[in-house]
A = this chain, B = another copy of it.
């Protein structure tokens, strides 16, 4: 049984607490395009592990503080 996972993120919140860091700024700090940040923040898709680490690094927090996951459906 596939054990599907749902990933959510706190990017909006973290940007807010980081002195309202702009998506553009975050994109530059994390080394990604602005569109990528928008899509991830909006939950359209989840990033690669590498980009996830770079985003966490941009905020100076651990990866678990940026992304949460939830397991639904079980064996």
Contacts and interface: CB of A to CB of B under 8 A. Distances in A.
Contacts of A62: 64
Contact of A3 (B7, B48, B54, B64): B54
- For this chain, the copies found in one complex come to 2
Interface in A28-53: 31, 46-50, 52-53
Chain A interface bracket (under 10, 10 to 19, 20 to 34, 35 or more): 20 to 34
Nearest to A6: B50
Contacts of A7: 49-50, 53
B57 A50 contact: no
Given A62-B64, A63-B63, A64-B62, A52 B54 contact: no
A2 B48 CA distance: 16
